[in-house]
C-alpha cells in the first residue's frame, strides 16, 4: 500500500515538473516584440560618406523610426566599396555619389546600380594651399585635382571657368589633363585620390576638392574657397547626389520610404542650416 502511494506521488510530481518547464516557452512565443506590438520593424542598411551623407541620413533615421524602419548607417571613407556592397547585396542602398560617377562606375565595372532618388548638390571648390589667390599663382604652380574620371573632369572645368586652362573642344565631362590645350601658367595638375585632397593643401598651391571631403575637413565653400561652381551652372544637374540601389529595387517600399525621408522638410532645413551653401537641397 505504501509503495503504491509513493508511486502515485512520484508520478504527480513528474507531471508537475514537466508542465512547469513548458510554460515559459509558450509565454515567450506570445509576448510582443520590443520594437512594437506587431514586431515588424524593418531594417534598411545604407552605406554613406561620413560627411555630409551620414549626417543627413541620421536626420532621416529619426523620421523612418516613426514609420517602423530601423535605418542602419555604415560609413565608408572611399567611393568604391559602398557601390560593390550594394551590387553584392550586402547593403540595401548607398548615398554618397553623384549620378555622373554612378553612370561611369556601371560602365567601367559592369555593375547594375540605379538611382532611386535625386537628393542634393555639393558645389566643387578651389581652395588655397601655399598660394592665396589666383592672381598670385606663379609659373609651374601645382594644383591638385581628384584622380577619378568624372571628378577630374569636373575639377578641370572649374579651372577652365577661372581662365587658368582651356580644354579641348568636346572634352566636357570626360576630360582629363591630357585634354588641356592651353595652359598659360604651365600649371602642374597633380592627380590625387579625392580623399587625400584636403591633406594635400600644405604641399600644393591650390586644390579642387569634392564637396563631401571639403566639409569633412572643416572647409567652408562660402568662406574658404577661392572659387566654386555656381548654383545655376550645368554642374548642378549633372552632379546631383543620389540615393543608389541595385537595379530592380528602385520602387521597393522601404527604399521609397527612405527617399521620402531624405526629401522631407526636416532634412531640407538641416542641410540649409548645417552646411551654409556646401550642400544644396534639390527638392
Q: Where are the domains of the chain?
A: 42-122+239-281, 125-230
Angle at the Cα of 216 from the Cα atoms of 210 and 220, rounded to 5 degrees: 75
Residue 64 has pLDDT above 50, yes or no: yes
Q: What is the pTM of this model?
A: 0.79
- The pLDDT tens digits of the residues spanning 161-208 come to 999 999 999 998 889 999 999 999 999 999 999 999 999 999 999 999
Query: Quick one: fold of 42-122+239-281?
Result: D-Maltodextrin-Binding Protein; domain 2 (3.40.190)
Mean pLDDT of the chain: 87
Greater confidence, 34 or 69? 69
Query: How far are the Cα atoms of 44, 92, 246 from residue 113, in angstroms, in the given order?
Result: 17, 11, 4
Residue 15 has pLDDT above 60, yes or no: no
d(CA 125, CA 224): 9
Q: pLDDT band for position 40 (50/70/90)?
A: confident
Mean pLDDT of 99-123: 97
Query: How far are the Cα atoms of 90, 112, 240 from residue 44, in angstroms, in the given order?
Result: 11, 19, 23
Give backbone dihedrals phi and psi of 170, rounded to 5 degrees, phi first. 85, -5
- Which CATH number is 125-230's, of 3.40.50.2300, 3.30.450.40, 3.40.190.10, 3.30.2180.10? 3.40.190.10
d(CA 88, CA 84): 6
Query: How far are the Cα atoms of 63, 155, 223, 249 from residue 190, in angstroms, in the given order?
Result: 43, 11, 24, 39
Going by C-alpha positions, the residue among 44, 108, 47 that lies closest to residue 82 is: 47
Contacts of 125 (CB under 8 A, 6+ apart): 208, 209, 211, 214, 219, 221, 224, 225, 226, 227, 228, 229
Dihedral, CA atoms, 195, 201, 203, 206, nearest 10 degrees?
110
Backbone dihedral region of 40: left (phi > 0), alpha (psi from -120 to 50 degrees) or beta? alpha
Partnered with residue 280 across adjacent β-strands are: 121
Pairing type for strands 113-121 and 280-281 reads antiparallel
Check if 42-122+239-281 and 125-230 are the same fold: yes
Hey, what's the cell of 56?
543627413
Residue 231 has pLDDT above 60, yes or no: yes
Amino acid at each position: 500500500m505504501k509503495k503504491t502511494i509513493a508511486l502515485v506521488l512520484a508520478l504527480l510530481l513528474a507531471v508537475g515538473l514537466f508542465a512547469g518547464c513548458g510554460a515559459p516557452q509558450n509565454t515567450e512565443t506570445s509576448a510582443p516584440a520590443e520594437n512594437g506590438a506587431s514586431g515588424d520593424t524593418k531594417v534598411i542598411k545604407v552605406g554613406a560618406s561620413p560627411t555630409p551623407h551620414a549626417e543627413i541620413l541620421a536626420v532621416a533615421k529619426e523620421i523612418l523610426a516613426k514609420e517602423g524602419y530601423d535605418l542602419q548607417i555604415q560609413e565608408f571613407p572611399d567611393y568604391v566599396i559602398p557601390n560593390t556592397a550594394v551590387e553584392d547585396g550586402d547593403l540595401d542602398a548607398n548615398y554618397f555619389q553623384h549620378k555622373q560617377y554612378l553612370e561611369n562606375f556601371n560602365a567601367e565595372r559592369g555593375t547594375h546600380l540605379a538611382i532611386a532618388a535625386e537628393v542634393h548638390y555639393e558645389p566643387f571648390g578651389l581652395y588655397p594651399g601655399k598660394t592665396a589667390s589666383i592672381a598670385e599663382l606663379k609659373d609651374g604652380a601645382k594644383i591638385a585635382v581628384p584622380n577619378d574620371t568624372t571628378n577630374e573632369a569636373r575639377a578641370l572645368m572649374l579651372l577652365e571657368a577661372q581662365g587658368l586652362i582651356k580644354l579641348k573642344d568636346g572634352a566636357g565631362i570626360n576630360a582629363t589633363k591630357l585634354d588641356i590645350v592651353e595652359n598659360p601658367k604651365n600649371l602642374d595638375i597633380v592627380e590625387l585620390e579625392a580623399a587625400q585632397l584636403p591633406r594635400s593643401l600644405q604641399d600644393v598651391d591650390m586644390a579642387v576638392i569634392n564637396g563631401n571631403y571639403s566639409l569633412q575637413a572643416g572647409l567652408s565653400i562660402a568662406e574658404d574657397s577661392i572659387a566654386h561652381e555656381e548654383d545655376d551652372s550645368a554642374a548642378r544637374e549633372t552632379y546631383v547626389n543620389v540615393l543608389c540601389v541595385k537595379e530592380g529595387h528602385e520602387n521597393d517600399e522601404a527604399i521609397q520610404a527612405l527617399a521620402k525621408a531624405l526629401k522631407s522638410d526636416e532634412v531640407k532645413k538641416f542641410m540649409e542650416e548645417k552646411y551654409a551653401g556646401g550642400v544644396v537641397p534639390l527638392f
